[in-house]
Structure 1
Amino acid sequence: MGNTTTSTNAAAQYVVIDANKFSLMPSQISPTEAAAFSCAGTTALVTLVDKGKLKAGDRVLIRGAGGVGIFAVQIAKALEAHVTVLGSKATMNE
């Protein structure tokens, strides 16, 4: 699994990309789930680290812990930031 996004944001049926841009897909997940992991995880990482410059001791508020939010919580905790998550009552009861 991996992300083939380029600086040109081109799309194609076939693409050549360096092997180091990919990870082994865990056998417990489907290809669809693997694709979501790559997209949501990359979005959270870029937002928190590249754009937000999040570091240890920073405080971060994550609204909802859906696809991107789940990764954002884990990344922020790994960076030793103080994490607060908001969710609806309906979400919390599921």
Structure 2
Amino acid sequence: MSRNYTSIRPKLDRVYSVEQVVSLYSICRNTLGNSIASGLLPPDANQPRIFRGAELARFHQERAGIKTPLRRGKFKCMSCKARVFPDLSTLRFLIVSQLMV
């Protein structure tokens, strides 16, 4: 189950160690390792694992995605989760004369 980290806001100008990140987000070290593999960037590979607060905020904001409403005529594909305009040749209009109760 995925979690939402929008309510947790690290200080952007602060540097966090691994233990501080784990306690800030209430996650385990494996989750932090998976985040590093998914795109969370430590400042330097040779240094001990430290993270800038701005990088933590960027990573979680990017993972949350931008929640914008669909434009008129767009649909969200349930299999690939993409927002697409339908092909007009595939649309069918059904006229229902009676409402079923």
TM-score normalized by the length of structure 1:
0.26
Q: Which has the higher helix share?
A: 1
